[in-house]
């Protein structure tokens, strides 16, 4: 069971495909979360649906009640955010004719894109793997939102990516002498491990972001 597709379409029009909490434009990278989770008796009625971006979705679900830090989103507050945003959209459409302060993709969105890029980069010998979105996600505190297992997988993927970058660099610099073969053998060994680590991080991050 899921929310009714036609009713979700109407809701996404009403919220302009902007997150009801941070108001960022999401495009297709948006979740319809349950305000009251199904596991706690929440229904699939559209009244219980909350359109949110990946980052806010992660924030809502990452709260660790065993080690509480900050303030947990409550059902009452989530409902309030939804009503408030839909009210603004309906009654103040003029806000959409003005530039929003930030229309950037969120750091977790960008991390997914970067992991996908890096899988392709691994297949091209000498093409450096990108780590800029990982650095940005660290800087913005997005990694600290994640469950420990998922955090470990992402850290491992980027540690291996860094390692492969170092090997590419070394290979380029010794390419004209007899150590080149040695480096090439090492790259051939490390590349499949790196791809596996990146794919593991990518798939786990996507499924974390898409869970109810």
For Zn ion, the binding residues (CB under 5 A) are 19, 21-22, 53, 56
- Least Å distance, CB 178 to Zn ion, is 54
Cβ-based nearer residue to Zn ion, 78 or 167: 78
- Collect all residues with Cβ–Cβ distance below 8 Å to 167 and sequence separation of at least 6: 183, 186, 187, 190
Q: What is the DSSP string of 28-65?
A: T-EEEEESS-GGGT----GGGEEEEEHHHHHHHHH--T
Give the C-alpha separation, 52 to 56, whole Å: 6
Token pair of 47, please? Answer: 């009244």
Of the candidates 105, 103, 166, 170, the one whose C-alpha atom is nearest the C-alpha of residue 131 is 166
Cβ-based nearer residue to Zn ion, 34 or 160: 34
DSSP-derived secondary structure letter, 72: P
- Least Å distance, CB 19 to Zn ion, is 3
- Least Å distance, CB 106 to Zn ion, is 7
Cβ-based nearer residue to Zn ion, 53 or 146: 53
Of the candidates 151, 158, 91, 170, the one whose C-alpha atom is nearest the C-alpha of residue 130 is 158
- Least Å distance, CB 21 to Zn ion, is 5
Cβ-based nearer residue to Zn ion, 54 or 158: 54
Cβ-based nearer residue to Zn ion, 107 or 167: 107
Structural contact between residues 111 and 26, judged by C-beta atoms closer than 8 angstroms: no
Cβ-based nearer residue to Zn ion, 78 or 197: 78
- Give the H/E segment covering residue 109: helix 107-122
- Least Å distance, CB 24 to Zn ion, is 5
- Least Å distance, CB 12 to Zn ion, is 14
């Amino acid at each position: 069971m899921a929310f009714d597709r036609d009713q979700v379409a109407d809701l996404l029009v009403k919220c302009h495909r902007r997150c009801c909490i941070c108001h960022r434009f999401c495009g297709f990278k948006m979740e319809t979360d349950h305000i009251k989770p199904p596991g706690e008796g929440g229904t699939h009625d559209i009244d219980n649906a909350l359109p949110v971006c990946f980052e806010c979705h992660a924030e809502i679900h990452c709260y660790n009640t065993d080690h509480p830090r900050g303030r947990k989103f409550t059902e009452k507050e989530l409902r309030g955010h939804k009503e408030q945003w839909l009210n603004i959209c309906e009654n103040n459409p003029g806000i959409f004719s003005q530039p929003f302060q930030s229309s950037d993709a969120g750091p977790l969105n960008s991390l997914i894109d970067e992991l996908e890029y890096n899988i392709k980069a691994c297949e091209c010998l000498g093409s450096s793997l990108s780590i800029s979105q990982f650095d940005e996600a660290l800087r913005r505190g997005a990694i600290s939102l994640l469950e420990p297992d998922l955090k470990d997988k992402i850290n491992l993927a980027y540690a291996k990516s860094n390692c492969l970058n170092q090997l590419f660099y070394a290979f380029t610099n010794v390419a004209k002498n007899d150590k080149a073969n040695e480096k090439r053998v090492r790259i051939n060994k490390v590349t499949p491990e790196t791809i596996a680590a990146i794919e593991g991080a990518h798939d786990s991050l996507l499924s974390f972001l898409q869970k109810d």
